[in-house]
Structure 1
Amino acid sequence: MLKIEEIREIIKLIDQSSIEEFVYKHEGSKVELKKRTSVEVVQGPSINTIPAAIAQPSTPPAVEVSAPQNNEQENTSQVESEQFHKIVSPMVGTFYMASSPDTPAYVEVGSTVNEDSIVCIVEAMKLFNEIEAEVEGEIVEILVKDGQLVEYGQPLFLVKQK
């Protein structure tokens, strides 16, 4: 069975990614994590459902683990409802705003871009892939944080097209 520290680390990784559900099974035990819902720990035939908490199989009381609430997604849905172009990740990888930590970001909110403008880098399997805007316009919102894991097709930027 996973240790509580390992479960906390998994929660952090899932919270930073777009993964909605994680299931771990081992020797008759099952840990199931779902974003914005509940966490279930199953041992044998019994099921314990504890919203926003993690139960240790050997101890009846739950150990509270509070995952940070992502208010950015709520704000993003308001902005996305307007007609903006989404620049999406073409692959699974790690999102970087700049080519190195000591250089400025490729773009910021308010930056003007054209079809060939590099807006970020997505690292996948030690390869750094430059992502181009593919549209002409102004960066309205950056939807992910520097160093965050991104999924294929995940929106990275919103652009107000010219």
Structure 2
Amino acid sequence: MDIKEIQNLIKFVAKSGASEVKLEIKDVKITIKTGSGATETTIVQAPPMQGIPQSAAPIAAVPGAVAAVVSENEDAKYITIKSPIIGTFYRKPSPDKPNFAEVGTEVRIGDTVCVIEAMKLFNEIESEISGKIVKILVDDSSPVEFDQPLFLVDPS
């Protein structure tokens, strides 16, 4: 787990609703506690792992963040459609049109699943896999980062 993934976890925690999250992956343990408008994040690691610098021990987090962890075992069978660019995520081509994709929508390779606006350009994001959308991971009109997960797709 690298710093970018930890930052994404903190952002995810900021939007959820729990008061404490403990995450243990191999030799890394992460605890995120929230409450009274401040977030405390502690990272404990056994041997140094590649990708996480030793200086990463405490990481400042989003004020008022709250925590929740999605079961990775549950989502392991799904394929993730990720953002290829930084921008603003939109589920519709325009406000008066229907969403490109909903939970349960069957998508094929090349189907447009969303639009990401970057610098006043609207980029259609196409599915690189065929399957059924099981989860939409980003709210409409939300900012997204490069490589941020957008959709979970069941390829079966």
For residue 38 of structure 2, what is the aligned residue in structure 1? Answer: 52
Give the corresponding residue for 1:69: 66
Residue in structure 2 matched with residue 26 of structure 1 by the alignment: none
Q: Quote the residue 1:101 is aligned against.
A: 95
Q: Given that residues 79 and 154 in structure 2 are in contact (C-alpha distance below 8 angstroms), is that contact kept between their aligned partners in structure 1?
A: yes
**79 and 101 in structure 1: CA distance in 2 versus 1, 3 angstrom threshold:** farther
Aligned-partner Cα distance in 2 for 1:76–1:111: 22
Deviation, 1:37, is 6.3
Q: Which has the larger radius of gyration?
A: 1
Aligned residue in 2 for 1:60? none
Report percent identity of matched pairs: 42
Letter in 2 for 1:52: A
Shift of 1:101: 1.5
Say whether residues 1:157 and 2:143 are aligned partners: no
Q: Which runs of 5+ in 1 are unaligned?
A: 1-16, 22-35, 39-49, 54-64
Alignment root-mean-square deviation, CA: 3.0
Alpha carbons of structure 1 residues 126 and 117: separation in structure 2 relative to 1, 3 Å: same
In the comparison of the two structures, how many residue pairs are matched? 107
Which aligned runs of 4 or more in structure 1 are off by greater than 6 angstroms? none
Deviation at 1:116, TM superposition (A): 1.1
**Gapped regions of structure 2 (runs ≥ 5):** 1-6, 12-31, 40-61
Match of residue 111, structure 2, among 79, 93, 117: 117
SS class of match (1:140) = strand
